[in-house]
């Protein structure tokens, strides 16, 4: 009996061993088969169509008073996201979160804006104003400065460049720091994906300004293509001609943008890249009118987001998951096979490294130009909770820039004359409640505050708790006066400098290093020497005898190093 049992046990062990060998052989063959397929497949290009100051008011999102056939085409051929949000309702802090994939309030980049960093400048051309008529909440003067991020934070595009992607931005930056020359292959304006080296995949950002707040007055003489009598008027505005006129101008600008998008799509098709590119269409924050831009609720943060894949993947579908604009960079990385680093607040919502959907979106509002406030918000897709940390201030404060829009200035005048009433008077509250709670399903324009309604106490407690936990988790820098933040970035109010690049040469390779922790290194060799083009240094460079090299380093917020040569 023992012999039989022993023979049976031995047979079982042998069978298990054979099964494992067969499985390993299968897995080995499968991996190499996939590897062979991937090696022969051309990497996908990624294209961002970045637009300004626009909520989800397109015809593909249900707005019947506007015609946007080209953007609708993207939606029909791609995935339409209905719950996408900015981190801040204004350009620079929002774009900081996009390029770094980090919350602005975590890293002290939440104030609008830190300096003249709208477009790329060479390090030698960066200038800082010492007095621009701006003070912080403690009354201290705020000069121009650059946010200094922790040493481990990089523009996400550097991870793409490391993998051989040609990265071109045409041409807005506005990152709260001067764009490092290592972040892009081309960011000088007018650049094109056509300049990518033969066989190299590209990441191309096309920025359109047509829908920016300023275009309400700068395009006042352009044709009105939307009937003012047919535009929807939000509940927080009076239904008067000047309001309808500016809303019609806003929508006409969007229709003009749609034509530009159509021209780009035709160009992509003509160049043969449309069917090998993933296209993202998004706006940097919500709407451009009063109580939209700079707002911390749905009207200021809610944006359109469409992702079109070249193979028709999920074409025409609607996706309701919560997405932050911080997630764009990690998602691009995930789609091209790069695992986003753990430090990022952004989460990939597609690709190999997709993460679980967000439960909440968090927003912030602080200094906007010459005006200071502090608000924080949390949204769950239906409800919006806002905490006002300076409730003694009015909701609609005076701001010279936005009062160039005719209706904005007129509404402020009407309010001063007490000629606004009902919902149209709501946003002109002279002081703010400590808390606001809105149900977007029943109150899409956020004019009925439910914070004191006992029926919503559970939701109020939930979102209040979530906001508090988030602020604690990120160590919200909104509580720190901006003048103190600047001193933490620039000790003694002097911008730190990046150390010079060390060049080490042996018979076959050149190695580059920099003593500044977190610095990125750019270099030029061969025909690139003396041009605007700087390659990103990642590993030792194979070289020919006596080959010339130029190198310089930069860390976010630091002054760039001088140029080293061999």
Residue 67: strand, helix, or coil: coil
In terms of Cβ atoms closer than 10 Å to its own Cβ (0-12, 13-18, 19+), residue 26 is exposed
Q: From 405, 438, 400, 414, select the one nearest 289 (Cα to Cα).
A: 405
**Is the dihedral angle over the CA atoms 332, 338, 339, 343 positive or is it negative?**
negative
Q: Are 280 and 84 in contact (CB under 8 A)?
A: no
Among left, alpha and beta (phi > 0; psi -120 to 50; other), residue 157 is alpha
So what's the pLDDT on residue 543?
87
Largest CA distance in the chain: 105
Task: Write the DSSP symbol of residue 199.
Answer: T
Strands 509-513 and 541-542 come out as: antiparallel
- pLDDT tens for 32-53 read 333 333 333 568 999 999 999 9
Task: Write the DSSP symbol of residue 497.
Answer: B
So what's the pLDDT on residue 346?
98
In this predicted structure, the answer to whether residue 104 has a pLDDT above a threshold of 90 is yes
So what's the pLDDT on residue 507?
80
Q: Report in angstroms the alpha-carbon separations of 36 from 27, 29, 32.
A: 14, 10, 6
- pLDDT tens for 476-509 read 999 999 999 999 999 999 999 999 999 999 888 9
Gyration radius of the chain's alpha carbons: 27
Four-point Cα dihedral 143, 145, 148, 153, nearest 10: 140
CATH architecture assignment, domain 502-565: Sandwich (2.60)
CATH architecture assignment, domain 44-356: 3-Layer(aba) Sandwich (3.40)
Sheet hosting strand 502-505, strand order edge to edge: 502-505, 509-513, 541-542
Q: Are 202 and 140 in contact (CB under 8 A)?
A: no
Task: Please provide the average confidence, as pLDDT, over all residues in the chain.
Answer: 92
Q: Which residue has the tokens 């076959």?
A: 508
Does a cis peptide bond (omega within 30 degrees of 0) precede residue 171?
yes
Q: From 186, 200, 353, select the one nearest 276 (Cα to Cα).
A: 200
Cα first-last separation, the chain: 82
| CA–CA separation, 274 and 119 (whole Å) | 27
CATH architecture assignment, domain 375-493: 2-Layer Sandwich (3.30)
| CA–CA separation, 121 and 127 (whole Å) | 10
- Assign 3-class secondary structure to 330-362: HHHHHHCCCCCCCCCCCCCCCCCCCCCCECCEE
- pLDDT tens for 254-303 read 999 999 999 999 999 999 999 999 999 999 999 999 999 999 999 999 99
So what's the pLDDT on residue 42?
61
pTM: 0.92
| CA–CA separation, 558 and 57 (whole Å) | 39
H or E stretch including 554? strand 549-554
Q: Are 320 and 244 in contact (CB under 8 A)?
A: no
Q: Which residue has the tokens 């590119």?
A: 277
- pLDDT tens for 392-422 read 999 999 899 999 999 999 999 999 999 999 9
| CA–CA separation, 519 and 498 (whole Å) | 7
Among left, alpha and beta (phi > 0; psi -120 to 50; other), residue 98 is alpha
Q: Are 181 and 554 in contact (CB under 8 A)?
A: yes
Higher pLDDT, 31 or 530: 530
DSSP string over 102-154: S-HHHHT--SB-SSS-SB---GGG----S--S-B-TTS-B-----PPPPTT--
CA atoms within 13 A on the CB side of 452: 4
Residue extents of the structural domains in the chain:
1-41, 44-356, 375-493, 502-565
Q: From 111, 76, 71, select the one nearest 90 (Cα to Cα).
A: 111
Which of the residues 91, 167, 173, 514 is marked catalytic?
91
- pLDDT tens for 302-358 read 999 999 999 999 999 999 999 999 999 999 999 999 999 999 999 999 999 999 999
| CA–CA separation, 463 and 485 (whole Å) | 28
**Is the dihedral angle over the CA atoms 240, 241, 246, 250 positive or is it negative?**
positive
Q: Report in angstroms the alpha-carbon separations of 115 from 92, 280, 526.
A: 10, 28, 35
Residues of the chain with pLDDT > 90: what percent? 90
Residue 189: strand, helix, or coil: coil
173 catalytic? Reply is no
């Amino acid at each position: 009996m023992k012999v039989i049992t022993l023979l049976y046990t031995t047979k079982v062990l042998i069978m298990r061993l054979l099964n494992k060998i067969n499985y390993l052989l299968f897995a080995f063959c499968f991996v190499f088969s996939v590897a062979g397929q991937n090696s022969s497949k051309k990497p996908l290009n990624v294209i961002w169509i970045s637009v300004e100051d626009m909520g989800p008011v397109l015809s593909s999102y249900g707005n019947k008073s506007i015609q946007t056939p080209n953007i609708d085409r993207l939606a029909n051929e791609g995935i339409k996201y209905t719950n996408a949000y900015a981190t801040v309702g204004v350009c620079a802090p929002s774009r900081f979160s996009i390029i770094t994939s980090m919350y602005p309030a975590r890293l002290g980049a939440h104030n609008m804006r830190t300096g003249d960093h709208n477009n790329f400048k060479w390090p030698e051309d960066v200038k800082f104003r010492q007095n621009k008529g701006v003070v912080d909440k403690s009354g201290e003067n705020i000069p121009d400065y650059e946010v200094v991020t922790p040493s481990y934070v990089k523009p996400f595009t550097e991870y793409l460049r490391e993998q051989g992607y040609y990265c071109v931005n045409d041409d807005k930056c506005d990152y709260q720091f001067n764009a490092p020359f290592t972040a892009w292959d081309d960011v000088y304006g007018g650049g094109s994906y056509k300049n990518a080296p033969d066989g190299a995949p590209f990441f191309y950002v096309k920025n359109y300004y047509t829908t920016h707040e300023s275009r309400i007055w700068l395009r006042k003489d352009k044709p009105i293509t939307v009937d003012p009598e047919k535009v929807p008027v939000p509940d927080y505005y009076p239904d008067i001609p000047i309001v309808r006129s500016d809303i019609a101008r806003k929508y006409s600008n969007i229709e003009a943008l749609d034509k530009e998008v159509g021209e780009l799509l035709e160009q992509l098709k003509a160049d043969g890249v449309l069917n090998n590119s993933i296209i993202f269409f998004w706006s940097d924050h919500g709407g451009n009118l009063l109580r939209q831009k700079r707002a911390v609720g749905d009207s200021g943060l809610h944006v359109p987001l469409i992702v079109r894949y070249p193979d028709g993947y999920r074409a025409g579908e609607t996706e309701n998951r919560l997405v932050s604009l911080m997630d764009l960079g990690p998602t691009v990385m995930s789609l091209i096979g790069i695992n986003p680093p753990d430090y990022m607040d952004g989460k990939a919502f597609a690709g190999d490294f997709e993460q679980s959907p967000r439960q909440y979106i968090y927003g912030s509002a602080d200094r906007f130009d010459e005006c200071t406030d502090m608000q924080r918000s949390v949204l769950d897709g239906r409800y919006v909770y806002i905490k006002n940390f300076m409730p003694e201030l009015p909701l609609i404060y005076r701001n010279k820039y936005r009062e160039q829009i005719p209706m904005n200035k007129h509404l402020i005048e009407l309010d001063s004359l007490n000629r606004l009433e009902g919902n149209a008077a709501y946003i002109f509250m002279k002081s703010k409640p400590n808390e606001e709670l809105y149900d977007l399903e029943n109150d899409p324009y956020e004019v009925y505050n439910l914070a004191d309604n006992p029926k919503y106490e559970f939701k109020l407690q939930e979102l209040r708790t979530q906001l508090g936990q988030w602020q604690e988790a990120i160590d919200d820098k909104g509580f720190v006066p901006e003048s103190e933040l600047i001193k933490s970035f620039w000790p003694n109010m002097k911008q730190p400098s990046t150390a010079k690049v060390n060049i080490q040469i042996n018979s076959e390779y050149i190695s580059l290093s920099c003593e500044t922790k977190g610095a990125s290194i750019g270099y030029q060799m061969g025909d690139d020497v003396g041009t605007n083009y700087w390659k990103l240094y990642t590993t030792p460079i194979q070289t020919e005898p006596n080959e010339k090299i130029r190198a310089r380093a930069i860390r976010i917020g630091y002054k760039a190093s001088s140029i080293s040569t061999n």
